[in-house]
Amino acid sequence: MKKHIEASHVRCINKGVKPENIFSTRLLEGEALIQKLVQNKELIKTAAPFLEHLYNFVRGSDFFVILNDAEGCILSVTGDEKILSEAHRFKMIPGAYMDEDSIGTNAMSMVITENTPVQISGQEHFIKAYHKWTCSAAPIKDTNGNIIGIIDLTGYSQNVHPHTLGMVVAAANAIERMLEVNNINSILTISKKHIESIFDSVSSGILTSDLSGNITSINKQVVKMFGYSEYEIKNMKVWSLIEHWNEVVDKLAARESFVDKDVNVKVKANKIQFTLTAYPIYNSEKEIIEIIHIFYELKKSRKLVGKILSGQAIYTFDKIIGRNEEFLKTIEYAKKIADSSSTILISGESGTGKEVFAQSIHNFSIRKEEPFIAVNCGAIPRTLIESELFGYEEGAFTGAKKGGNAGKFELADEGTIFLDEIGEMPIDMQIKLLRVIEEGVITRIGSHRQIPVNVRIIAATNKDLKKEVAEGNFRKDLYYRLNVLPIYLPPLRERADDIPLLFDYYMEKTSKRLNKRRVAISPEYLDYLKDHEWQGNIRELENVIELIVNTESVQPNFLGKKIKINHSAEANISLSLEQVEKQHIITVLNKSHGNVTAAAKILGVGRNTLYRKLEKYDIEGRSEIEQL
C-alpha cells in the first residue's frame, strides 16, 4: 500500500473512524444543505455540462460522478442506476461529507489532504463497505491554486483503469478553464485555441460574435444543432440565424441579463426554437466587444417549465384516507401498476378522488421527479383544446403568442399527463389523441414537424364510457387504448365504514384552516351520516363539515332531512349543540373511566374548563357517568 494511503489509515485510526461505518458522520439537511448549494451555485452550474460529458464516456459501465466542494461536501451525484442506488443506500447524497474525519480514506479525502489527483481502489479505502469500489478524484482549483471543488468518478473495483483518473483530471481542468471564462478579467487572457477546446467539450451549443453580427467562433455542438457546416456558419451573420438578435444586443448594452430565453433559430432544414443565454465580453474600458451565445435544446428547458407550471403532484398513497377492505385493494392495485408505461383509465363519480389517485400513481412511479400536468378536458373550449394540448407555432392563428407556445404534452415530456373528464373531449380531438398514444409524437398547430414525446397518460371520467361508445359520443378504438389498466373508485356510500375516519380528518383540517374549534357530534348523527346517499361524495362531506365548523352547530337539515334516532318510540329528534356536547363529554369520560384529567386531554380543553362543563350539564360522579 502506498505511503500516503498508509498515513491516511493511521490518521483514521487515531481519529476514531470505524472501518465498519457505512454512512458519513456529517450530513447536511434542510436549510443547511440549501445554503451550501447556494454558496456553490456558480461551481455547480459551471461544472454541470462537464460532469454530464464525463458521465457519457462511462455510461452503462456502472460508474457515477460526484461533485464536491472544497471541504468534501457532496453537491451533486449522477450515474448509472444500479450503482447509484447502492450509493444512495450508503447515503452518498448531496450534503454528505467525504472528508477523512467523516468517512475515512477515499479518493475525495485524499485530494483534500494531498492537494493532487488520486485514485483509490478496493482495500485502500478505510471503510470496508467501500472495498468493492474504485474512486478517481481530482481537485478543481481557482487561479490562485486553491481547491474550490472536487470531481470524483466511482465504479466497481474490477473496472479500475489508470485512464479513468486521466478523464477526471481533464474534466477538472476544463471546469477550471470555464470558471476563468466566467470571470471578465480572465476572458481576454485565454487563447483562442484554448477557448475552442473548452467549447468543444461542452454539450450545449456555443457561438461568439462581435457587435456587427460577425461570427467569430463556434463549437462542434452548434454545427450539429443548426445543420450547417462549420464553414457555412462562419460566413453567416448571427442576425441571419437568430430572429430579433438586436434584442440580445440591446439587453446586454443596457447591462441587463439575457438568460434562458426561447428564440427562433433558422437552421438548415427549418426554423426551430432553442433556449438562449447570452453573456457579454468586455475590453479593458468595460465596453462590449463580443457576445457569447449558449444554446440549449428546448426539450431540456421545457422539462423545468413543466414542473413549475404543473405545481407538481402533491398527493401520495399514504395521504389517501380509508380502511374499507375493497378500497385498500384498489390502492394496492394502483401501486402495482404505477411503474407501467401503459395508459390508465380511472372511472368514478365526481368527488371520489380521481386526481388524488392520479397524483399518487405518478409519485409512486419512476417518473416522480418529472412533470405532472393535469388537464380538465371539460373546462377547455372546443376551439382551444388542440392548441392547449399540442401547442402552436408563431403566426398559426390571430393572437398566437410570439415565438409560439408549447402544449401540455410537450410540458409533460418524460412525466405524466392527467386528462380529467376525458368523456368531454370532442370526437375530432379524440382522433388526434389516439395518434399520440399510438405513435408517440405530436404536431403543433401551424407546423408539420413531428415532436416525439414520452408521456404516461392517465385519463379519468365520471361517465360510463362504454355507454358513450354505444351512443357514438366516444371512439371505441380510443376507449380500448385508454382502458388498458382500469381503476374504479367507489362512491362514498359504498365505503360508508370510512365516513367516521374521513369526518375526523376533515373536521381537524377544516377547523385549523378556519381557525375555529372542532365541533363534536353524537354517535346518532354519525350513523345518520353513514346512511346518507352522498351524491357529491367526499366533496359533499367536506362541504357539510365546513358548514358545521362555520356555524359551530349540527343542524338536522344540513343534508336536507331530519335525523331519525330510535332510542324508543322517538323519531325526528333534533339535537341541540349543547345536547351533542353533553353526550360527547359523557362518552369521553366513560372511555377515560371517569378520569377528568385524561378526558380533558382527549377533548383538547383545560381541566378547569371541563369541570365547568360538568357543572353546567349537571354531570356528577363516576356512578352517574357509568350508568349513562
Which of residues 444 and 608 earns the better pLDDT score?
444
All CATH 3.30.450.20 domain ranges in the chain, comma separated = 204-297
Checking if the pLDDT of 569 tops 70, the result is: no
Interior CA angle at 232 toward 231 and 237, to 5°?
A: 115
Checking if the pLDDT of 303 tops 60, the result is: no
pLDDT band at 193 (very low <50, low <70, confident <90, very high): low
Query: What are the tens digits of pLDDT across the range 519-562?
Result: 888 888 888 888 888 888 998 898 888 888 888 777 655 565 44
pLDDT band at 70 (very low <50, low <70, confident <90, very high): very high
Checking if the pLDDT of 502 tops 50, the result is: yes
All CATH 3.30.450.40 domain ranges in the chain, comma separated = 3-183
Which cell goes with 94?
448531496
* DSSP label of 25: S
Hey, what's the torsion of the CAs at 526, 530, 535, 541, to 10 degrees?
40
All CATH 3.40.50.300 domain ranges in the chain, comma separated = 311-490
pLDDT band at 270 (very low <50, low <70, confident <90, very high): low
Checking if the pLDDT of 568 tops 50, the result is: no
Checking if the pLDDT of 624 tops 60, the result is: no
Checking if the pLDDT of 347 tops 50, the result is: yes
Per-residue confidence (pLDDT) for residue 564, from 0 to 100: 43
Q: How far apart are CA 209 and CA 244, in angstroms?
A: 15
Which cell goes with 295?
444554446
DSSP characters over 197-266 = HHHHT-SSEEEEEETT-BEEEE-HHHHHHH-S-HHHHHTSBHHHHBTTHHHHHHHHHTT--EEEEEEEEE
Q: What is the pTM of this model?
A: 0.47
Query: What are the tens digits of pLDDT across the range 142-192?
Result: 988 999 999 999 999 887 777 889 899 999 999 998 888 776 544 444 445
Mean of pLDDT values over 191-211: 73
Interior CA angle at 490 toward 485 and 491, to 5°?
A: 145
Mean of pLDDT values over 51-67: 90
* DSSP label of 314: -
Q: Average pLDDT of the chain?
A: 84
The CATH class, in words, for 204-297 is alpha beta
Options 1.10.472.10, 3.40.718.10, 3.20.20.70, 3.30.450.40; CATH for 3-183 is: 3.30.450.40
Topology at the third CATH level for domain 494-627 = Helicase, Ruva Protein; domain 3 (1.10.8)
All CATH 1.10.8.60 domain ranges in the chain, comma separated = 494-627
- Collapsed DSSP state (helix, strand, coil) of residue 598: helix
The CATH class, in words, for 311-490 is alpha beta
